[in-house]
Amino acid sequence: MKKVTFSVIICLFTTALMAQTGGPKSVAFKEAKMDLAYNNYLQLKDALVASKPDAAKEAALKLKTSLVPINDSKNAMSEATKISKASTMEEMRKSFASLSTAMTAIVKGGQLSKGVLYLEYCPMANNNTGAYWLSNEKEIKNPYFGDKMLKCGSVKETIN
């Protein structure tokens, strides 16, 4: 009973601390349009991690719309469109690799004002040619394989 009570207290303390500090997912850009686009990208990534095609399509459409006011986002918008129209998770994940490359360039030019982003890499994605993705958590959650290989990958760059 003491272990359970202690565990509950630790969980509550950790949750409260993360809420105060913004938690591991707290990032912000100097422009609100970048915040919206990046958050929509994260929703798409999370849907791919969870292997939820309908959620991925919905997030891709939101991302495409949020990219409209952002300079140099034509390639990212094109890939988001492909994801929203894809019929398989494999097609979505292939386009997500190109989308992530485009989003990395956009994010690096977007002037992060709070938090840290991670450029992560899976060497086995895209038939072993490898692919990157963005995350605001150091912990690897691979969008290219979902739960089949959730932890496959590594952090290649820290963006702050």
Domains and CATH numbers, the chain: 24-159 (1.20.120)
pLDDT mean over 65-81: 95
Do residues 112 and 28 lie in contact, with contact meaning Cβ atoms separated by under 8 Å? yes
Q: What is the pLDDT of residue 6?
A: 36
What totals of helices (H) and strands (E) does the chain contain, helices first? Answer: 6, 5
Chain centroid, CA 36 distance in Å: 13
**pTM over cut 0.85:** no
**132 — phi, psi (to 5°)?**
-105, 165
Nearest to 35 by CA among 14, 59, 4, 66: 66
Would the pLDDT of 3 be above 60? no
Q: What is the pLDDT of residues 105-121, one digit of tens each?
A: 999 987 889 999 999 99
Q: Are 78 and 42 in contact (CB under 8 A)?
A: no
